[in-house]
Chain A
Amino acid sequence: QQQVKQSPQSLIVQKGGISIINCAYENTAFDYFPWYQQFPGKGPALLIAIRPDVSEKKEGRFTISFNKSAKQFSLHIMDSQPGDSATYFCAAPMIKAAGNKLTFGGGTRVLVKP
């Protein structure tokens, strides 16, 4: 079964530090790689997405880096803040997946310590 492999499962970072989450994927139906952020008790919400005619996209403190040849993409959270504590999911549109084809990674629980 095609998967999106996300690592690490959990991450603890000090306030002001950098959080890095990685995802690896298999063959995709098209190039669209979103990251979703989920706070406790809430549904996931789109944080940032990349359609890789570029290898990097930055929105504020959040950056997606994309390596098409390696089939990997990552989320960097710069100057991490306690309010960034959440679970982050990457997703990729897998060829054999149903629906809108987005297959989600297993999630990374990020805790930012003050």
Chain B
Amino acid sequence: DSGVTQTPKHLITATGQRVTLRCSPRSGDLSVYWYQQSLDQGLQFLIQYYNGEERAKGNILERFSAQQFPDLHSELNLSSLELGDSALYFCASSRGLGTGELFFGEGSRLTVL
């Protein structure tokens, strides 16, 4: 158990809809990262928050947004969903800003029909 909690584990929705994925980082970790893993694809970095502030953006679509709350949990909002958004979405956390071990949650599997 990595200590990172993600909900929901599975989500099925229709095109055009909006969903919110939630992540609770490991106790004491200030950085939260969101990654997307599509079928047969590697891990694509989406966005990073550190202590409530956005720190870096990767390949995140404009239809997607995220935030980190004062209690350090984070939410990833996906809107105007398309079939191609179907993927596993992972949250990871780490102690600080610099590189080091990332602790991943078990992911949220999103299916867009």
Q: How large is the interface on B (under 10, 10 to 19, 20 to 34, 35 or more residues)?
A: 20 to 34
Dominant secondary structure of chain A at its interface with chain B? loop
Q: Are B106 and A43 neighbours in the complex by a CB distance under 8 Å?
A: yes
Q: Does chain A have a CB within 8 A of B43? A: yes
Interface residue stretch chosen among A14-22, A71-79, A104-112: A104-112
User: Quick check: is B20 within 8 A (CB to CB) of the other chain?
Assistant: no
Interface residue count on the A side (C-beta < 8 Å): 25
Q: Which residue of A lies closest to B49 (CB)?
A: A99
Roughly how many angstroms separate A101 CA and B100 CA in the complex, as a whole number?
10
- The reply to whether A97 and B104 form a contact with Cβ atoms under 8 Å apart is no
Is A45 interfacial (CB-CB < 8 Å)?
yes
A89 part of interface (Cβ distance < 8 Å): yes
Q: Does A80 contact B (CB under 8 A)?
A: no
Q: By the criterion CB–CB under 8 Å, are A100 and B99 in contact?
A: yes
Tell me the minimal C-beta distance from A8 to chain B in angstroms: 13
Contact of B42 among A46, A89, A97 (CB under 8 A): A89
A44, A46, A105, A107 — most chain B CB neighbours (10 Å): A44
In contact, A98 and B58 (Cβ under 8 angstroms): yes
Is B62 among interface residues, defined by CB-CB distance under 8 A? no
* Shortest Cβ distance from A90 into B: residue: B42
| Residues of chain A within 8 A of B57, CB atoms compared | 98
Cα A41 to Cα B107 in complex, Å, equals 8
State whether the Cβ of B4 lies closer than 8 Å to any Cβ in chain A: yes
Contact of B104 among A30, A45, A99 (CB under 8 A): A45
CB proximity of B76 to chain A, nearest CB, Å: 14
Q: Is the CB of B106 within 8 A of A46?
A: no
Residues of B at the A interface (CB closer than 8 Å) are 2, 4, 31, 33, 41-43, 45, 47-48, 55-58, 90, 92, 94, 97-107
In the A-B complex, the 7 residue pairs with the smallest Cβ-Cβ separation, listed nearest first, are A43-B104, A98-B56, A99-B48, A99-B56, A104-B43, A106-B42, A100-B99
